[in-house]
């Protein structure tokens, strides 16, 4: 069973069972697949400066949650902003997910603060996709799912996804707490 991330002298350390590492790796892979796009006949200059002239608002609600419109109530401005920024946002998310997938190969996981931040970002992207698939849009929606905690009762897809969502939430919370503990120690050292 997974053990919470903790700040140690070696960095931020956490333990995941092989099946848990495998599950998270597959989740990272699924989100990577969602974010990757095949580019044909792309303008090399546009690619070099980070423009995506073919960018369009995602039809998949989960992908839209990962790549939301930056401008509300103006579809034209939102699309223009998307064309200017989406490529770099996708690449940033893909980089964090791929790096985090590599971190899963070590047991126990011993992370630097930078690696922990990357892993937290990747875990958050997984949670965003799961939240959309589970129709979580409010704190009340999320709270209702937190009561689902018995893996032996995962008899349908929704219950299983809720359990995975809760696990990823717990994992990310322990990671963020370990990062915050480092900030508090750093502040204490400065005094």
Residue 46 has pLDDT above 90, yes or no: no
Question: Residues 148, 163: contact at Cβ < 8 Å?
Answer: yes
Band of the pLDDT at 44, cuts 50, 70, 90? Answer: low
- pTM (predicted TM-score): 0.87
Q: Rounded to an integer, what distance in angstroms lies between the CA atom of residue 189 and that of residue 191?
A: 6
Q: Rounded to an integer, what distance in angstroms lies between the CA atom of residue 144 and that of residue 99?
A: 32
DSSP state of 106: S
Band of the pLDDT at 161, cuts 50, 70, 90? Answer: very high
Rg (CA), the chain: 19
Q: What's the confidence (pLDDT) of residue 151? A: 80
What is the arithmetic mean of pLDDT over 75-102? 93
Mean residue pLDDT of the chain comes to: 89
Where on the phi/psi map is residue 135: left (φ > 0), alpha (ψ -120 to 50), or beta?
A: left
Q: Which of 29-33, 36-40, 67-71, 179-183 has the highest mean pLDDT?
A: 29-33
What is the arithmetic mean of pLDDT over 60-71? 94
Residue 80, both tokens: 């223009």
Residue 65 has pLDDT above 60, yes or no: yes
Residue 135, both tokens: 């129709």
What is the arithmetic mean of pLDDT over 48-74? 86
Which comes out higher in pLDDT, residue 82 or 52? Answer: 82
Residue 16 has pLDDT above 80, yes or no: yes
pLDDT tens profile 106-155: 989 999 999 999 999 999 999 999 999 999 999 998 888 888 888 887 78
Q: What's the confidence (pLDDT) of residue 135? A: 94
Question: Residues 94, 35: contact at Cβ < 8 Å?
Answer: yes
Residue of 84, 104, 122 whose CA lies nearest to 15: 104
Residue 191 has pLDDT above 60, yes or no: no
């Amino acid at each position: 069973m997974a053990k919470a991330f903790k700040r140690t002298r070696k960095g931020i350390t956490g333990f995941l069972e092989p099946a848990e590492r495998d599950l998270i790796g597959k989740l990272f892979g699924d989100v990577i697949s969602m974010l990757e796009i095949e580019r044909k006949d792309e303008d090399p200059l546009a690619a070099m400066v980070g423009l995506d002239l073919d960018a369009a608002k995602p039809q998949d609600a989960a992908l839209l949650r990962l790549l939301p419109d930056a401008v509300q109530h103006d579809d034209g401005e939102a699309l223009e902003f998307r064309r200017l920024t989406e490529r770099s946002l996708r690449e940033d998310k893909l980089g964090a997910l791929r790096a985090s997938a590599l971190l899963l190969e070590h047991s126990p996981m011993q992370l630097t603060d930078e690696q922990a931040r990357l892993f937290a970002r990747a875990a958050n992207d997984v949670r965003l996709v799961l939240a959309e698939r589970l129709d979580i849009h409010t704190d009340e929606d999320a709270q209702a799912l937190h009561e689902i905690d018995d893996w032996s009762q995962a008899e349908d897809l929704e219950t299983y996804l809720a359990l995975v969502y809760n696990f990823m939430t717990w994992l990310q919370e322990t990671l963020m707490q370990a990062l915050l503990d480092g900030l508090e120690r750093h502040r204490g050292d400065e005094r």
